[in-house]
Amino acid sequence: MYNIDLSDKTALVFGVANQRSIAHHIARFLHQAGANIVLAYQNDRVRNNVEKAASELGDATLVECDVSDDTNVEKAFAEIKQKAKTIDVVIHSIAFANREDLGGDFAETPREGFRLALDISAYSLIPITKYAKPLMQDGGSIMTMTFQASERVFPGYNVMGTAKAALEHEVRQLAFELGPENIRVNALSAGPLDTLSSRVISGYIDMKTAHREKSPLQRNITHEEVAKTALYLASDLSSGVTGEILHVDTGYHIIGF
């Protein structure tokens, strides 16, 4: 569809739960550009949906990987190494927080809810990068998904804003560290999109309306637009870009009032 050729590349994609997942759309665009796709999915709960997604992705390879457990991540990467040998692109599109911590008073966030949200949504990029690095012998591109709540207050986003701030810092730190290996690390900061995760954020509908009414492009972003930007970051077109937080939000982030 676009003139980008990833036919000699393998992309490892974390975060497909169903066909609305941002990761699913990114995997679709990478596959259309010719990439071989490996889908790392959370657990049996999402397996059926992931199998459906895989069938549209040239029978992508499936690997189970729950990032809350170190041995699980290590085991998953041993399997990935065996099945894919090398990887060129990594998509980290994972987040989780308890529903009760995505609304109400941020000051009431319990320690365990904070730990869980930061563990799954931010820390997980670190072990994924650690195990992916030796498989990225020819350099490559790692990207994660963030949201502007890392830098501005979005009521209801609460602890996930803290997690995204940590995640964006990791992007810069890892970009610095992996630069000599020619591995680029970037984040896509997407506007609101209807998915399993976004629906549980209290105030999500208002957030979507504000984006539509106030952004320079006067509409909401689409899954496809985020996926297109991921395709750019996965490809040689972005060879000079690393450590970047790239907003794909119809321009909402520039608006002050």
Among 149, 97, 90, 158, CA closest to 125? 90
| CB of residue 78 to ligand NAD, shortest distance in Å | 17
Smallest distance from the beta carbon of 196 to ligand NAD, in angstroms?
4
User: What does the CA dihedral 13, 15, 16, 22 come to, rounded to 10 degrees?
Assistant: -90
Nearest CB to ligand NAD, comparing residues 197 and 235? 197
> Between residues 158 and 197, which has the closer beta carbon with respect to ligand NAD?
197
The yes-or-no answer on residue 232 being catalytic is: no
Residue with tokens 């994609």: 13
**Which stretches of the chain bind ligand NAD, using CB under 6 A?**
15-17, 21-23, 42, 46, 66-68, 93-96, 120, 145-147, 190, 192-193, 195-198
Q: Which pair of structure tokens corresponds to residue 113?
A: 């809810």
Cross-strand bridge partners of residue 92:
14, 144
* 157 catalytically annotated: yes
For residues 85 and 232, what is the distance between their CA atoms, to the nearest angstrom?
A: 24
Instruction: Choose between 126 and 236: whose C-beta lies nearer to ligand NAD.
Output: 126
Query: For residues 173 and 222, which CB has a smaller minimum distance to ligand NAD in the complex?
Result: 222
Contact between residue 143 and residue 91 where contact means Cβ atoms under 8 Å apart: yes
Q: How far is the CB of 164 from ligand NAD (least distance, A)?
A: 7
Q: Among the options 41, 131, 157, 252, which is catalytic?
A: 157
Backbone region of residue 80 per phi and psi (left: phi > 0; alpha: psi in -120 to 50; beta: other values): alpha
- CA pair distance 96, 202, nearest whole angstrom: 14
Catalytic residue among 9, 131, 164, 252: 164
How many other CB atoms are found less than 10 A from the CB of residue 192?
A: 23
Minimum CB–partner distance for residue 20 and ligand NAD (Å): 6
Q: Catalytic amino acids?
A: 157, 164
